Chains A and B, each alone.
Chain A
Amino acid sequence: MSSRPIVSVRGARRRYGAFEAVRGVDLDVSRGELVALLGTNGAGKTSLVELVEGLAPADAGEVRVLGHDPYRERHRVVPRVGIMLQQAGFSSDLTTAETARMWAGTLSRPRPVADVLDAVGLAHRAGVRVGSLSGGERRRLDLALAVLGNPEVLFLDEPTTGLDPESRQATWRLVRGLLADGVTVLLTTHYLEEAEALADRIAIMQAGRVVREGTVAEVTASEPARIEFAPRDAAGRAVALAPDDLPRLAGRAGPAVVERGRVLLRTRDLQDDLEIVLRWARGRDLRLHELEARSASLEQAFLALATDRSPVDDRAEAAA
């Protein structure tokens, strides 16, 4: 097998009437890799994922999954793919096991139903009507159906929304197990810690475009680190500082912020600048209360992108 990407998107566009939800996206996912697609509501994540799932045709550009067009050559792609939609339903009068058996009956190469229900922690609920399952249990049944066909590629659209922390961990374990078996995963999520926990690479979407892409380290590297403190004198009284009183940083990134007695410095050279700050404080006999120094988190990188850019068109929400 060549190292061609399992999922490959080039210049994809998708339109709803006059509104363009996906505006020229490039995205690759390699075999055995998990790529997490992040973005605010209405960024176009679901619209993009529906293209690679083959549920809708791209208005422009090229979409390839396992070397085929997932929409026009659906019959070649779909037996090798598992799809977990953000919102898909069940007939509430069927039991959990009946639902899974029905789905298994439609698949080319189903795994044993009991094994899969066991893997998602629903074995003890097999005989229960789906209408009586909790929201989290239904979400796990969604996942069970998505993996029932032994897929080579898995598309998960917000798989852990509505799950309690324990079920979320269990879902992550299951997904890691699949990755270890060589399954390729494209995941969308609102939970940044989920992306940090699972993703080999992340892509952040905004207003229909991928605005940042790379490993978690690469994406956060573009964001400055932060040093925060509340300056006090030797007696513990708050000291009012003007920005000019603050030390000159080697890796300064943006102006210092002094607000309600707290100082926020941004730097691209956390180690050296932290040393400069500490020396400066010693020289002035200042105590740095609530001192925090940390590299950029994914959340920070994400929020920085979300606030820097123009607000997203509200219609995207309805379309997504």
Chain B
Amino acid sequence: MTAPTAPATTAPGARAASDRLRRVAALARAETTLLVRNRTALFNALLLPLVMVGFFTLVGGLGDADPVVAATSVLTSLVSVCLLFVVYYNLTTTYVARREDRVLQRLLTGECTRPEILAAAALPALLVTLAQVVVGYAAVSLLVEPPGMANPVLLVVGVCGGALLFALAGAATSGFSRTVESTQLTTLPVVLVVLPFAGIFGAPGQSGALWEVARFTPLRPVVELVWLGVAGIDADGRTLPFAETFAAAALPVGVLAAWTVLAVLGTRRWMRWEPRR
């Protein structure tokens, strides 16, 4: 056995956690460099969300809705588009590229664990998404109306939970994709199924069986949490006081957690670490 080089002043758990962080940071730094050098991925991450949100807003129109509702609508579109394209699509592509380049195989020979490798690749996408939300919030505050911040905890849970879910979904989807190009097709089913039910084409408070069922689709809980977190508006369109937003968040948080568990299982089952040939 080798003697520990540093005096044992830190607990082993803290030491392990800091080692973990160091490894993830080293890989995430390289991933960020790669993102900056890949023009397509960079465009998808930085400009595509703005373009799409602009398009949705023009087509759907803000109409003469309450300015807070209008501003929050734009934010929910932005978060949804970021999760689907910056996180889900980009990460599916990234995982396929690293797998086909045999980078994943190399990383497995080192000290990093599988969750660390997945997290490191996802970190730049998560940071871009958070930055998009901050910039988007500032933009709607300037251009429309400051939408307020009813419960920032729920906003953070929604955005981060959604990013985790769609990062895992990307890892699982990468297993079905032979090449980087084919991810345009393999990611399509999730995008097409999830987007119409996300509830970004209209304010909360609509009724109907489909609208209720849609609450159990993967992206919808994120949208609900953004509405609750920013405007304090629940799925029935009521504006709630701060204390009641937590209770209203129980269902979306539960749905999000359930999908995340499924995504973990899917990743374990379908994610591949060696090239598909």
Name A's B-contacting residues (CB within 8 A): 53, 55, 75, 78-79, 83, 85, 87-94, 98-99, 101-108, 145, 149
Q: Is the CB of A90 within 8 A of B101?
A: yes
- Distance between A234 CB and nearest chain B CB, rounded to angstroms: 65
Which residues of the other chain, B, contact A108 by a CB distance below 8 angstroms?
A: 19, 111
Using Cβ atoms and an 8 Å threshold, which residues of chain B touch A91?
30, 34, 97-98, 101, 103
In angstroms, how far is the closest chain B Cβ from the Cβ of A69? 17
B20-28, B78-86, B195-203, B216-224 - the one binding chain A: B20-28
Residue ID in chain A nearest B108 by CB atoms:
A55
Question: 1/0 per residue B3-32: CB within 8 Å of A?
Answer: 000000000000000010011011101100
Does residue B207 face the partner (Cβ distance < 8 Å to A)? no
Given A90-B101, A102-B26, A145 contacting B106 (CB threshold 8 A): yes
Is residue B105 contacting chain A, with contact meaning CB distance below 8 A? yes
Q: Is the CB of A105 within 8 A of B110?
A: no
Given contacts A83-B109, A106-B112, contact A90 B103 (CB under 8 A): yes
The reply to whether the CB of B37 lies closer than 8 angstroms to some CB of chain A is yes
Decide if B110 touches A106 in the complex (CB within 8 Å).
yes
With CB as the reference atom, state the residue of chain A lying closest to B97. A91
Q: Which residue of A lies closest to B19 (CB)?
A: A108
- Of all chain A residues, which has the CB nearest B98? A91
Q: When A and B form their complex, what is the total count of cross-chain residue pairs whose Cβ atoms lie within 8 Å?
A: 74
How many Å lie between the Cα of A105 and that of B27 in the bound state?
A: 8
Interchain CB contact (< 8 A) of A85 among B101, B109, B111: B109
Say which size band chain B's interface belongs to: 20 to 34
Chain A CB count within 10 A is highest, among B29, B102, B110, for B110
| Chain A neighbourhood of B23, CB < 8 A | 105-106
Query: B38 contacts the other chain (Cβ, under 8 Å)?
Result: yes
Given the complex, which residues of A lie within 8 Å of B34, measured CB to CB?
91, 93-94
CB neighbors of A among B222-246 (8 A): none
Chain A CB within 8 A of B33 CB? yes
The answer to whether B29 and A102 have CB atoms under 8 Å apart is yes
Contact residue among A92, A94, A106, A149 (Cβ-Cβ distance under 8 Å from B26): A106
* 9 A-B pairs whose Cβ atoms sit less than 8 Å apart in the complex: A89-B103, A89-B106, A90-B101, A91-B97, A101-B30, A102-B26, A102-B30, A106-B26, A149-B111
Is A107 within 8 A of B111, CB to CB?
yes
Q: Which residue of B lies closest to A81 (CB)?
A: B109
Min CB–CB distance B120 → chain A (angstroms):
9
Sample of 9 more A-B contacts, CB < 8 Å, known A91-B98, A106-B110, A108-B19: A83-B110, A88-B105, A90-B106, A93-B34, A94-B33, A98-B33, A104-B26, A105-B27, A107-B110
CA distance A108 to B38 in the complex (A): 30
Contact A105 B19 (CB under 8 A): no
Q: Using an 8 Å CB-CB cutoff, how does the interface string of B104-125 with A read, 1 for contact, 0 for none?
A: 0111111110000000000000
Contacts A102-B27, A108-B111 known; A93 to B106 CB distance under 8 Å?
no
> Which 6 A/B pairs are nearest by Cβ-Cβ distance?
A105-B26, A89-B102, A88-B106, A102-B30, A83-B109, A89-B101
Task: List chain B residues, Cβ under 8 A from A85.
Answer: 105-106, 109
A155 (CB) vs chain B CBs: closest residue: B109
Residues of chain A within 8 A of B107, CB atoms compared: 106
Q: Report the bound CA distance from A98 to B103 in whole Å.
A: 14
- A10 smallest CB distance to B (angstroms): 23
| B102 proximity list for chain A (CB < 8 A) | 87-89
* B103 and A105 contacting across the interface, CB-CB below 8 Å: no
Chain A residues lying within 8 Å of B101, measured Cβ to Cβ, are 89-92
Contact yes or no, B111 A79, CB < 8 A:
yes
CB-defined contacts of B27 to chain A, threshold 8 Å: 102, 105-106
> In the bound complex, how far is the Cα of B37 from the Cα of A139, in angstroms?
24
A120 vs chain B, min Cβ distance (A): 16
Residue of B nearest to A105 (CB): B26
> Considering only CB atoms, which chain B residue lies closest to A99 in the complex?
B30
A85 CA to B108 CA in the complex, in Å?
Answer: 11
- Give A107 Cβ to nearest chain B Cβ, in Å: 6
Q: Is the CB of B109 within 8 A of A55?
A: yes
Instruction: Tell me if A78 and B26 are in contact (CB < 8 A).
Output: no
Q: Which residue of A lies closest to B105 (CB)?
A: A88
Q: Does the CB pair A93–B111 fall under 8 Å?
A: no
